[in-house]
Structure formats: C-alpha cells, structure tokens
Amino acid sequence: MKMAADEYQGYRGSAMNTSAVVTIVVVVIAAVIAIALLVVNQRSKKLRERFGPEYSRTVEETGSKMRAEAKLQKLQKRVEDFRITPLSSETRAKFVAGWHKIQSRFVDNPRGALTEADKLIQEIMTARGYPVTEFEQRAADISVDHPLVVEHYRAGHEISLRHSQGHASTEDLRQAMIHYRTLFAELADEPELTRSMGARSARA
C-alpha cells in the first residue's frame, strides 16, 4: 500500500511539474508575442509619423502594410547614407534669385517657365546632396525628409508630363508652378518664399 501511495504521489508530482512547465511555456510565448506586437506597432507608428501621407500612399501602392513598411524602412536606410547638407547662404540666395527669374517669365512664357522650374528643382536637389536618378526615385528619396511636400512634386511633375504631350492648359501650368514652388521653398529652407509669392502666383 505504501509503495502504491508513493507511486501515486510521484505520478501526481510529475503531473504537476509538467503542468507547471506547460504554464510557464504558454506565459513565455504570450509574452514574446505581446512584445513582438508592441515592437511592430511602435515601428508602424514611427513610420506613419515620419512619412505622413506617403505612408498611406505606399500601403495603397503595395497592397500590403507589411510590404509598405519594409519598402519605407529600406528607403529610409538608403537616404541615411546620403550626405544631405543645408545650402550655404550664398548658394541659397543664388537659387532663390533663379526661382524669381523663372517666376517672372511665367506670364510671357508659361511652358518655358515650367520646364525651367523642373530643372531648377533637380539642381537644388543635387546641391543638397540627393543623387541624380529618375523621377520616381527622386520623389521617394525626398519623401524621407520632406513627406509633407513630396505630393506637390508628384502633382507638378504629372502636369509637366501632360504639358509635354500638349494636354495642359495655362491654368494647369500655373498650378504646376505652385506645386513646384512649395517643394522649392522647402528644399531651399525659405518658407517665406511661398507666402511672399502667393499674390504673384494668383496673378499668373
């Protein structure tokens, strides 16, 4: 009888130990999952805050939140390797003067002014340290540090393409100049440019 009781106690103790191990494993797995979800949510939050509207656009473009975030993280790392620098006072003044000249020519030659504006955007990007690439990559690169204005670049470029095909009106070109001006002011670090030139654009 004593032997049977000892065996029972041993079996019971073994069962309790197994149950305890299972419970611990379940708790650990749950904790790992919770931490993983927290990390993912924090990553998503940081990407949404950094990229703004560009985050939603990329999710829609890729059709997947996971793929979109992977793409944005890769893009972020790419741009971190660039040597993006602010413009010197002299260089900034030169670019701003160039923009004013282009703007002043819009009334007499809107198509030529738009072409020059697009070229000036690329030149100031190069001066800041962005590599020379095709448009979509340029826009993506800009979105990392200038997410709130990159859509202006895309909108202006889309009108510029229609203009090259002969499908853009003078009003379309004026809107493209406004889009380009918004991006230019951001890249030149001249926020006053947008406000001070508002009346002039309205007359264009």
pLDDT digits (tens, 9 = 90+) for 2-12: 444 444 455 45
- The answer to whether 36 and 30 are in contact (CB under 8 A) is no
If pLDDT is split at 50, 70 and 90, which confidence band does 202 have? very low
Tell me which H or E stretch contains 48.
helix 2-51
43-101 per-position pLDDT tens digit: 788 888 888 888 899 999 999 999 999 999 999 999 999 999 999 999 999 999 999 99
For residues 189 and 194, what is the distance between their CA atoms, to the nearest angstrom?
A: 11
Rounded CA gap, 4 and 10, in Å?
A: 10
The mean pLDDT of 143-162, rounded to a whole number, is 93
pLDDT for the residue 82: 93
Cα–Cα distance measured from residue 71 to residue 88, given in angstroms and rounded to the nearest whole number: 32
Residue 13, both tokens: 């103790």
Q: Where on the phi/psi map is residue 190: left (φ > 0), alpha (ψ -120 to 50), or beta?
A: beta
Please state, in angstroms and rounded to a whole number, the distance separating the CA atoms of residues 179 and 152.
Answer: 5
Which ranges of 129-169 would DSSP assign to H, the alpha helix?
A: 135-145, 150-164
Residue linked to tokens 């504006």: 117
Distance CA 172, CA 118 (A): 15
Q: Tell me the per-residue pLDDT of 122-151, one tens digit each, with 9 for 90 and over.
A: 999 999 999 989 999 999 999 999 998 999
